[in-house]
Amino acid sequence: MAEAAGDEPTALAALLSAYAGEDMTRHRLLWALDERLARLAATTTEPMIGQIRLAWWHEALSDDSGVKGRGEPLIDAMREAHAVPPAGFSAWLDGWEAMIGDVDLDAFAEGRGGGLFHSLAGADEAPDWLVQAGSAWALWDLSGRAVDPVLAVTAIGRAKAKLLAEPRSWPASWRPMRIAYGLARQDILKGRPAPKRLTPGLYLRLLRVAFTVR
This prediction's pTM:
0.94
Asked whether residue 1 is assigned to any structural domain, the reply reads no
pLDDT at 214: 65
Q: What are 23-70's pLDDT values in tens digits?
A: 999 999 999 999 999 999 999 999 999 999 999 999 999 999 999 999
Asked whether residue 55 is assigned to any structural domain, the reply reads yes
| Domain boundaries, position 45 | 11-212
Asked whether residue 121 is assigned to any structural domain, the reply reads yes
**Which DSSP letter does residue 2 get?**
P
Q: What are 98-130's pLDDT values in tens digits?
A: 999 999 999 999 999 999 999 999 999 999 999
Asked whether residue 4 is assigned to any structural domain, the reply reads no
How many Å apart are CA 105 and CA 29, to the nearest integer? 25
Q: Count of domains in the chain? A: 1
How many Å apart are CA 140 and CA 145, to the nearest integer? 9
Asked whether residue 5 is assigned to any structural domain, the reply reads no
Asked whether residue 138 is assigned to any structural domain, the reply reads yes
